Structure 1
Amino acid sequence: MVSQAVTVKGQVTLRRDLLQHLGIKPGERIDFEKLPGGELRIRATRPTGTIDGFVHALDGKVKMKKPLTIEEMNDIAAAGWAGQLNDHE
């Protein structure tokens, strides 16, 4: 367990090893969740976006030899959910 001092302004500075444990980099945000019993859960804020934003981020970066059929897409999705996904072309 790690103890940190609280400043007169009510601020706490997290040590670098704690930030690394959370996967936090400078400028990123942290979520605090109030739990019963005066406890807090601290975790890295993970950005959520839209499918359009995701597709736009991939635009021009994914090169396919040929378009996939619906059946091929379904097979890839099933393999991914089963943890058996390899590189598919």
Structure 2
Amino acid sequence: MQESTITSKGQTTLPKAVREALKLRPGDKLRYLILDNGEVRLLRTRPLASLAGALRHEGGAVSLHAMEEAIADGAAGQG
């Protein structure tokens, strides 16, 4: 288990093992999720630009018409 001390200004240094686990680098931003049970989860945020290409489709771009047809087929139970 990793620990750190809070300063009078509410600051702390993340232990090296935590920084490595989250792949943190200087300048990275963190997000804190406060759960109902009192636990807090620490997450590294990612810039929106890092998601470019995440939904890449084989065969290139799909036309708007093809998307509308797929949605209609799915709604009609044909998909």
Q: Using structure 2 for the length normalisation, give the TM-score.
A: 0.57
Q: Deviations over 1:60-83 (max 9, x none)?
A: xxxxxxxxxxxx617xxxxxxxxx
Q: What is the match of residue 77 of structure 2?
A: none
Structure 1 runs (4+) deviating above 6 angstroms are none
Contiguous gaps of at least 5 residues in structure 1: 56-71, 75-89
1:37 Cα deviation from its structure 2 partner: 2.4
SS at match of 2:37: helix
SS at match of 1:3: coil
Contiguous gaps of at least 5 residues in structure 2: 61-79
CA distance in 2, matches of 1:19, 1:3: 12
Percent identity, please. Answer: 33
CA distance in 1, matches of 2:11, 2:37: 21
Q: How many residues align?
A: 55
Q: Using structure 1 for the length normalisation, give the TM-score.
A: 0.52
